[in-house]
Each structure stands twice: as C-alpha cells, then as structure tokens.
Structure 1
C-alpha cells in the first residue's frame, strides 16, 4: 500500500464531508419543495415550527428536523434568540421564487433522477447500450425545465436573440420559428410572449413533454400562436423557417450532423440556426472547475447515454466545446458558425448556410 500524504488526505476527507452534506441537503431540498415549505417561508418573516407546520399541513416533529438540517446547510436561517426560522431574500430567490433568475430547485430534481436511474446507467456501462431520455424517471423532465427556465427568462430575449444578426428584427416583424427539442416548451412560450407577431412551432420526440407544453401554452395565453408536435430532430415538419432554435439538446442527439442537415433543408434561405449549448472549453483541463463538474456529471448519467441510445450514437456529451460543435455544423453543410454570446452556463452560436 502506498503511503498517503496525511495533510492531503485530511483535505480530501474534509471536502468529501462537504460533498456528502450537499448530497443529503439536495434530497431535503426536493422534499421541501414538494411539501411547499420553501414557498410558505417566502415572505421572509421568522416563523416557529408549530406555526409553519399548521401553515404547510405537515407534522411539527418532522418539520423541525428538516429545518434544522437546512439551517446547518445555510439554506434557511435560524434565529436562536427566538427559536424561529426564516428565508433571507437570497435564500427565497433560490428556493422559493419559481420565476427568479436564481431559482435552483430544478437542478436538485435532475440530480434526484440520477440517483434513481443509476442502475440503468450501470447496466449501460457494462453493455455499451444507451439509455434514452424517455427511459429516465419523470423528475428529470420536470427538473430540466425548472432548471433551464430561469436562465432562459433572464437571457433569451434580453441578450441571446439580440446577439444574432438581424434575427430580432425579423421576430418583431413576424417570423416563422421552430424550437427543436423543446421539452416542456419554456423557451418556445417565452419567445411567443416576447414576439406576438411571430409564429412558433415546438418539436420534441418525447410525447409526455409535448403534452405538458400544450397545457403550458394554454395557461400562458399563447396557444393561438404556438403549436407543439411530437417529432424527432431529423423529421420535424415544415420549411422556410426564419429561425430554428435548439436549446441545450444538440449534444443529446445520436446524429447531430443529421439533425443539422434537416435544419439546413427546412431553414429559409436567409434563416438562422441558433444553437444554445452548455458552456465548455475545448480541452478537458480547462473544464476542471465547479461548472464542468456539474456538466460532466450530468453528461455521464443523462446526455451521453441518451446519444448512445440513438442511431449513429456520436456521444458529443454536455462538454463538447466550440470546436466539436463547429465541426457538426460544417459537416451538416453550413458555412457560417459564430459564437454570438455566452453566460457562465451557456454558449450561444449563430449558424447560417
């Protein structure tokens, strides 16, 4: 047995204690979200356990243990002098306010699906088979929409679309837009609300997500200008689209080049393909950071298995980087590929024929 550096070992074990605490706290976050505890504390007023138990309809003894754990994680605030608990404005934005740009609960639901589906991924590791998106636990679909929606709300209309040459003007005047891989339709509906003169079509191969998207469009009051259809990225109908968007999904496709070829066939002559992908550098060493840790983990458990379950099975992964994405676009027959803008979590590319 090799002799360890005891100081390095202590440092690693200390970090692991934090990681285990984060994993445990994540399960409690999902629990608190499902039971409505965070939302019941959203006003920030310090509240006792008995009062909060009455307000949420849960048993006080369970609630006190949950609150204590969340206070130890610094996810809620404990007031020792009054034995009460509250949410700071920052904690409320992250855990209680669904439309906040910092809302983070969806990420924990995505992680929940990783734990639940681990046996399927372990089997895929042994056999080489993929695990399709539709084969995952349903918390993945809800969590993905809730995780990505705050970023879309903050950046899509305000920054990403204006960064594309001439696209915002078309959308304001009235354009024909396809959102491929739309999931629950958050991005499609957001664009429809921002650009009432345009028409939007959302496509996804996952039928339950399309059903959710249709209900969401009705609730948002845009169903007259938005249609959702079940279809793959290589077969969605229509042509002459002024813009075709793919949000955080191209890397999940088994044949992204084939999907790009279909985009080229269905775009208008002067149309734009907008690709939004997880932020990544081109080389592994540059992605060894907290964001890369999250994305590589999700890619291992969700994105790469999804791609390997399909024809071709290119397996780009969620940290593909600009060079690999550029090659996909060029191989699909496009000649113009430009990084239009970026955030700490996303890269936005403008692609044209």
Structure 2
C-alpha cells in the first residue's frame, strides 16, 4: 500500500532523522569537552578561537563542532561577526544540576546503545539468543539511574502531592517501600522530605545501591534502608507490612510483571496506597503514530527493557510500550482498584487493594 506522503517528503524525513543523529553525537562531544560550560560562562558572543582558548581546545575542532551546533540551532551565531553564543533559555538544558529536561543526559547513552544494539540484533533470528542478560547492562543501568535521578529530583514529590491523602499520610509517619529503586535516589528524596516515615528501597542490581547509601549518609538520614531485592519474590514476612509502596518506571522491565504486581499487592496493607509511575503511551501502535516520545521510548525498550526481560526463563518482554490500556487491565487483574492520572510524559497509576 502507498503511504500518504510523497517520496520526496519521505526522503526529507529520513534526512532529518539522520541529521539529528549527528546533532546528538555533536552534543555528546560538546558535553565531553566542556563546550557548553564554556559558552554558558560567556556574557557576550565570542569567536571560535576565543572559545577554544578558554577551554584549552584546538580551534579547528571547535569550529567544526560549532558548525554542527549552529546549523541545528543549538548554539546561535551573530552573522555580523561570526561570533557564537548559547542563549540563556538553552543553557539550563546543559546544566546537569538545573537541567530543564533529561533529554541531553539521555543523548549521552547513544554510544552505549550502539554497542548494546549489536547484542540485541543477534536475538532476532529464530536460532539466536532469547535476550540480553541484565549483567550486560551494568554501565547502561548506572547511567540511566543517574539520569532518572535528575528527573526524579524535579517530579517525584509533585507526583506524591497529586495522590489524595498521601502527603498527609507520609508526614504522619508510616512504613514505605520503594521497589526497583535503582541507585536509591527516589528512596532518599522521600526519606529526606518525610522524616517521620521509614523507607526501604530495593533493587535487583545491588552494586547500584551504594550511590543512594552514600547520599543518605551524607545527609545524616536514619529513616532509609537500601537493600538488594527481587521484586517478584519479596520476603514472606513483609505481607501486609507497608502503608505506601512505590514502583517508578520498572514494572514493564520485570521478567514476569504479573508476579511483581502480585508481590506489590501482598506487601501493601489493605488500607495502604500504591503508586506506579510509567511511560504515558498507548498500547496499540496505531495510536502512537507521529508521537516522537513514543518512538524514543520504543527505541529504549527494544535495546534494553524487552531483551533484558526476555533473557529470563519465561520472560514476558513486556517493554516500555505496554501502554495505559493494557497496564490498567493488568494491574486491575492483580486485585487492585486503579485511578490513572496523566502527568505529561508520565502516567501515574494510583492503586488500592480490593478486599478479597
């Protein structure tokens, strides 16, 4: 069947996609050599030679990189004197401590993704590997956790505020569990905000948790514990233990999401509140057409979420694109009452146990 766009339009689309790849690679290089930090410290436009001198860089390389950045509109240029500047409203995207968005940090994953792509491609043939084991994603997972921390620092507490009664409950002092917490940033942020509550954060990859422990210790937090956990097989003595359970962008990564949700339900008190945050996408591909965020999420999922899950025996390979429709259906089937709140690129599933 013919598509709705002309051949020349499709060719232009492909060219733009390819061009964007080089822009992303240029941004990665700019971050590595400090280009954006240099530009952010200037109060007025500078020549490429002045920029290079400030950073101790070779002018010819800087000039070529600036050509890529100005062509793409990342860096601006004064046509009167060919001097360069980074607009104020662009600078905050490159300042990791004040980042407006995580997209620049995600771009830094491209080299790692290219390496992982080779492993994933081998899984496609019928006689190929069934997946890529989590152990092969250690560097990727560590970086993703750091990127997530930037996002979480800005958004997590606002998510909690959107859940009726949850902020008051946490302020009063309750038992809380943060499942698949990565480096533990989410756990630490909550523990610091709600000092009267106790928080346990757990993740399958134990080596990541040292990051959160160091942060908690530096802030003298005594109400947070980070430990290795299998979300699909939590300690039996935890049945009905927690007043609040959080799982942030992780259910779709599990080898068996149903098992994970059943464990989530088991350890949550009947009176408790659960919060599941995940990607805001539709379950049907046809409903995500022309959604550039969906395209990005499918890309991450194809390289990481899906093959890591499929590497386990009977792994579901659910992936980030499970979508709000199927997610709601699956969560409800595990004995939860679900209320869904869309919050930009994230969807919040507020869950409570249905009495049996």
Question: Cα distance, 1:74 vs. partner?
Answer: 1.1
Question: Cα distance, 1:277 vs. partner?
Answer: 0.7
TM-score when normalising by structure 2:
0.88
Quickly say closer, same or farther: Cα 1:319–1:310, change in 2 above 3 A: same
Counterpart check, 1:183 vs 2:185: no
Question: Cα distance, 1:44 vs. partner?
Answer: 5.3
User: Which residue is equivalent to 1:70?
Assistant: 69
Q: How does 1:300-319 map to 2 (within 5 A)?
A: 300-319=302-321
1:31 corresponds to which of 29, 32, 50: 29
User: Which residue is equivalent to 1:169?
Assistant: 168
Provide the rounded CA distance (Å) in 2 between the counterparts of 1:222 and 1:305. Answer: 39
Quickly say closer, same or farther: Cα 1:54–1:268, change in 2 above 3 A: farther
Q: Which is further off, 104-113 or 121-130?
A: 104-113
Q: Deviations over 1:166-198 (max 9, x none)?
A: 211111112222211111223222222322222
Quickly say closer, same or farther: Cα 1:311–1:328, change in 2 above 3 A: farther
Q: Which is further off, 62-71 or 99-108?
A: 99-108
2:14 corresponds to which of 13, 16, 23: 16
Unpaired runs of 5+ residues, structure 1, are none
User: Which residue is equivalent to 2:50?
Assistant: 51
Provide the rounded CA distance (Å) in 1 between the counterparts of 2:179 and 2:36. Answer: 33
Q: CA RMSD in A?
A: 2.4
The question of whether the paired residues in 1 share the 8 Å contact of 2:192 and 2:221 is answered with no
The question of whether the paired residues in 1 share the 8 Å contact of 2:174 and 2:243 is answered with yes
Quickly say closer, same or farther: Cα 1:41–1:302, change in 2 above 3 A: same
Provide the rounded CA distance (Å) in 2 between the counterparts of 1:313 and 1:179. Answer: 23
Look up the SS of the partner of 2:260 in the other structure.
helix
Unpaired runs of 5+ residues, structure 2, are none
The question of whether the paired residues in 1 share the 8 Å contact of 2:278 and 2:346 is answered with yes
The question of whether the paired residues in 2 share the 8 Å contact of 1:252 and 1:316 is answered with yes
Question: Cα distance, 1:64 vs. partner?
Answer: 1.9
Look up the SS of the partner of 1:121 in the other structure.
helix
TM-score when normalising by structure 1:
0.89
The question of whether the paired residues in 2 share the 8 Å contact of 1:184 and 1:213 is answered with yes
Look up the SS of the partner of 2:122 in the other structure.
helix
Quickly say closer, same or farther: Cα 1:280–1:216, change in 2 above 3 A: same
Q: Deviations over 1:271-327 (max 9, x none)?
A: 222111101123221111212111111111111112111243112221112232233
Quickly say closer, same or farther: Cα 1:351–1:311, change in 2 above 3 A: farther
User: Which residue is equivalent to 1:275?
Assistant: 276
Quickly say closer, same or farther: Cα 1:31–1:347, change in 2 above 3 A: same
User: Which residue is equivalent to 1:287?
Assistant: 288
User: Which residue is equivalent to 2:117?
Assistant: 118
Quickly say closer, same or farther: Cα 1:197–1:39, change in 2 above 3 A: farther
Provide the rounded CA distance (Å) in 2 between the counterparts of 1:208 and 1:51. Answer: 43
User: Which residue is equivalent to 1:141?
Assistant: 141
Quickly say closer, same or farther: Cα 1:71–1:217, change in 2 above 3 A: farther
The question of whether the paired residues in 2 share the 8 Å contact of 1:105 and 1:146 is answered with no
The question of whether the paired residues in 1 share the 8 Å contact of 2:77 and 2:84 is answered with yes
1:324 corresponds to which of 323, 326, 330: 326
The question of whether the paired residues in 2 share the 8 Å contact of 1:124 and 1:130 is answered with yes
Question: Cα distance, 1:152 vs. partner?
Answer: 2.5
Look up the SS of the partner of 1:342 in the other structure.
strand
Question: Cα distance, 1:248 vs. partner?
Answer: 0.8
Q: How does 1:246-265 map to 2 (within 5 A)?
A: 246-265=247-266
